[in-house]
Amino acid sequence: MQEQILNNLEIKYKELNRNADFVTANGVPVAQELHFVEPNKNLLPENAQVRQIALIRHGEPDLTKTGQFTYEEAKSFIRNYDSVGIIIPDRPFFKLNEAEEVALFTSTIPRAQATAKYLFGAEREIVITEDFREFERIIGKRRVKMRLPLKYWTTTARIKWMLGLDREGIESFSEAKERARKGAMLLDESSEEIPKVVLVAHGFLNRYIRKNLEELGWRVVRDGGDNYFATTILAKIDTEEDRNDTNLVTESDN
């Protein structure tokens, strides 16, 4: 039955994607209009609850990324990437009803905060925490003395960091993955109180948040990809029996 409910939810998101308009930034389509959808109520067992988590990547940072970069220019870009806002589209693409209760989270990095505030406004409470900051990277000691595409610098910086090189005081890859695991647990626990949760964060972090949520029994019902404003939605069905089991575990822990 739960599989049927999730299949129904996935179908509804596909239908929404087919019919949704695009919002644009500087005249270029950047994201389709989106909102939380509900499964067919006739499929839900009595007292069952549908929980959903939306993982949204931030918008495009307002920085020049084309052309060839020297070592120093690439280092400067990485620093600036963590300090600028985003290119603002003509209207928000993720819609919430005024009365719709949603738990909102974002990271401390400006591009994620700017995206969250652009989407949901200043009137809604947004939990801002460094737990959801992007996996870190730095361009280490100078080794190449030529101009190269930015992608070269950023990709090699990430690979070296994942291999344990060029850390220079920042967290390790294993520490970052553990942070993502704890972040996924926070979102999962938050959805027990408020069944709709939104995280506005970063591409690499969201990828590992998603992986950990799937390990916690969540299923992807909308795969938004990896681009700017990419939005992946996961869902989980709780029955009254599931909630009673959770309460029993909590009481035994106490």
Cβ neighbors of 22 (< 8 A, separation 6 or more) are 29, 30, 31, 32, 33
State the pLDDT at residue 46.
78
CA–CA distance, 93 with 118 (Å, rounded to integer): 10
Q: At what angle do helices 71-81 and 150-162 cross, to 10 degrees?
A: 70
State the pLDDT at residue 249.
47
State the pLDDT at residue 79.
87
CA–CA distance, 35 with 232 (Å, rounded to integer): 12
State the pLDDT at residue 39.
87
Q: Are 57 and 109 in contact (CB under 8 A)?
A: no
CA distances from 6 to 2, 75, 110, 185, 245 (A): 6, 45, 34, 21, 21
CA–CA distance, 176 with 178 (Å, rounded to integer): 5
DSSP 124-193: S-EEE-GGGSPPP----S----S-EEHHHHHHHHHHHHHTT-S-TTSPPHHHHHHHHHHHHHHHHHHHHH
pLDDT along the chain (254 residues), means of 10: 90 96 95 94 81 97 90 90 94 93 97 96 93 89 82 90 82 96 98 97 98 98 96 91 54 53
CA–CA distance, 252 with 211 (Å, rounded to integer): 29
CA–CA distance, 250 with 91 (Å, rounded to integer): 43
State the pLDDT at residue 47.
79
For residue 107, give the DSSP letter.
-
pTM comes to 0.92
State the pLDDT at residue 145.
81
